[in-house]
Structure 1
Amino acid sequence: MNTTTVPHVPALLGHGGLAGTEAPLLTYCDDATGERVELSASALAGWASRTAALLHEGCGLGAGSRMAVLLPPHWQTAAVLLGAWSAGIAVSFRLAATAGLTPVGDETGPLDAVFAARSRIGSWLEDVPEAPHRFALGLAPDGAPLAEVPDGYRDFIAEVARYTDSLPGYAPVRRTDAASADGTTFREWGGVAHGLTELIDLRPGERLLVDAGRYEHPVQWLLTPLAAGASVVLCANLDPSGLHARAAAEGADRVLGVGRA
């Protein structure tokens, strides 16, 4: 693979890949609750920029900082990840597997920030790593702030609302900077996403349906469609019997792991 042509993570963010269009980029739906949230490219870029400002200006974090994300695939999770990467922060993911929590990346070192789902903080209490900055997310359909904030945490929605959606002006993220806490670089993550787009033959302008319960890693449901110039329908609690109906209703061209819809 010619690495000079492979997109890297910073190139997929608000500097280019998310900007300039009101077309749907990320649609989040939940078959169990009926929730459906649709974000345009510019709307998601705004969320990412405000998150980057919260981390950079509000927490003093940037290149060289490390944070953990204990969140399921969700449109707010996309905002957190894209904001962190816009600020050059290395992220450690923790995915909820059927056999328990599966850490992804190195979480043995000190962390500067943690983002965790409010509904899971109680059960994860002993597993949530320590960090100077801790944010809880309610993951409400309308993006509403928490009614009650857990002790030792700040409400992400309330805090991020303090910032504007223009990307803060600080040193640009380098391809060789660490994108994840295990040392994987932004260029390497971009390469992985690019490789997956080729594997599933995802093309610019197409719409990819992703089962959020099966494909939890953000390289699958977030970076891959960005790398392809495609949009994504991220579906939680996907009813297998209604897969084709859901794909048709959302205008999906492909279903991750299945092929063309």
Structure 2
Amino acid sequence: MKTTIPQAFTEAVRRDPAAPLLTWYDDATGDRTELSGATLDNWVSKTANLLVDGVGLGHGDAVALLLPPHWQTAALLLGVSAAGLAVDLGGDPQPVEALFTTPELVDRAASWTSLDRWATGLLPLAMPLRTPPPGYADYVTEVRNHGDHFRGAPVAPADRALAGPVELSHHEVIGMAADRAAELGITSGDRVLIDVTLYPDPADWLLAPLVADASIVLCANLDVSKAGARATTEKVTVTLA
């Protein structure tokens, strides 16, 4: 039985490290990025090492993610959780130990108190920003400098998973994700196509499929005329669009 976010992700990777776990489409840019479990795990481990070894954050510290749905957002959320840190999904501004956002959202991010700040352009091929916003490091550039494997302290079910006005433990988040998977009709072995405009909450587009042992086809700016062919190509069994 899954009781933490890192455990749910580890089990997803272990099932078949080479199989596609998260496939990203943006029909506005033509971007398609496919991440196997092993590839996403590499990004997750590098992110955790960036936060723990690079910045020195400790168990329970809070990290704000002011980011839209994207495969990099998934890597960051899972990396923060793997490091034993709490994810703040950008509700009301509050002090946090680190913050990640995009250049388009830096004005909003200015309301948040944080010593360490990173920006990402969420660009195709994980390209770095040409010029990061003042006061920000480039996430894509910095994360590549860190190790491919993370060996931190284990995360416990009672540890804080979500920070913010409503704080939830890993056990509570996993339970809510399982309930959401049932509501959305996601079961083990499914491949789920998700329109992120309709389902922008990570509980829907990331955690529910992970907890249900499903893989994800994440679509931004979905061109509905392409949805049917894409579902066939990607062997989709559940469509949330």
Could you say whether these structures have the same fold, taking a TM-score greater than 0.5 normalized by the shorter chain as the test? yes
Query: What residue in structure 2 maps to residue 73 of structure 1?
Result: 69
Quote the offset at 1:207 in angstroms: 0.4
Quote the offset at 1:241 in angstroms: 4.1
Mapping 1:1-261, distance limit 5 Å: 5-14=1-10, 16-19=11-14, 21-94=17-90, 103=91, 107-108=93-94, 110-121=95-106, 123-124=107-108, 126-127=110-111, 129-167=112-150, 169-181=151-163, 182-256=166-240
Q: Deviations over 1:24-74 (max 9, x none)?
A: 000000111211000000100010000000000111113220011011110
CA distance in 2, matches of 1:125, 1:25: 30
Misfit runs of 4+, over 6 Å: none
Q: Tell me if the contact between 1:92 and 1:107 (Cα under 8 Å) persists in the aligned partners.
A: no
SS for the counterpart of 2:187 is coil
Q: Tell me if the contact between 2:25 and 2:32 (Cα under 8 Å) persists in the aligned partners.
A: yes
Higher helix share: 2
Quote the offset at 1:18 in angstroms: 2.3
TM-score, length-scaled by structure 1: 0.86
Q: CA RMSD in A?
A: 1.7
Identity of paired residues, percent?
42
SS for the counterpart of 1:162 is coil
Q: Deviations over 1:59-112 (max 9, x none)?
A: 111322001101111011111111000011111113xxxxxxxx2xx643x210
TM-score, length-scaled by structure 2: 0.92
SS for the counterpart of 1:124 is helix
Quote the offset at 1:146 in angstroms: 1.3
Q: Deviations over 1:196-244 (max 9, x none)?
A: 2222332222100111112111111111111111110000001234433
CA distance in 2, matches of 1:117, 1:11: 28
CA distance in 2, matches of 1:135, 1:18: 27
CA distance in 2, matches of 1:190, 1:162: 31
Query: What residue in structure 2 maps to residue 100 of structure 1?
Result: none
CA distance in 2, matches of 1:125, 1:88: 23
Q: Deviations over 1:172-197 (max 9, x none)?
A: 11110111113201111111111122
Deviates more, 1:57-66 or 1:5-14: 5-14
Q: For this pair of structures, how many residues does the alignment match?
A: 238
